[in-house]
Amino acid sequence: MNEKYIYIYNNLINYTRNKELYKNLNRKDNFADRLTLFLLHFSFFVKNFKSEENKNILQEIYDFNFRQLELSIREIGYGDQSINKKMKDYINLFHSMVSEIHFWDSLSKADKLKKISFFLVDFQNNEDLLDYFENFNINLSKKTLNYYLKSVSNP
């Protein structure tokens, strides 16, 4: 496992820890909420840096991130059979997110809100989250993949 991708993983975790993301959740956040937001951040990351020249690096980042998620699930205490099922569910969720936001930049605000709301069903007032992810997407597009490989940014 290549540890050079830990910066990207830590960046995504830091973004996910932003308390403002959870202010419209009508209950205490849980692992599933945090994981969904992590995967949504990662989806935007992949969308922005997906290119033929980044193909191998993004695959390594993908593998690294999902290995880290698997380790986190193991730390929670799930058994091997549960982990396999959970990982399959999370990988499918991630691929669904990537597919849904592929044409994000050309979608209307209403369509973007539908997509955000689809993945964040327990959150209220998703306009705030839409604004957040719009800004996140814009900020990603202003930086290079190399920037994220070399540093830890602040959310």
Backbone angles phi, psi at 123, to 5 degrees: -95, 145
Buried b (16+ CB within 10 A) or exposed e, 52-75: eebeebbeebbebbbebbbeebee
Q: How far apart are CA 9 and CA 78, in angstroms?
A: 22
pLDDT, tens digit (0-9, with 9 covering 90-100), for 29-88? 888 899 999 999 999 999 999 999 999 999 999 999 999 999 888 888 777 778 888 889
pLDDT, tens digit (0-9, with 9 covering 90-100), for 100-132? 999 999 999 999 999 999 999 889 889 999 999
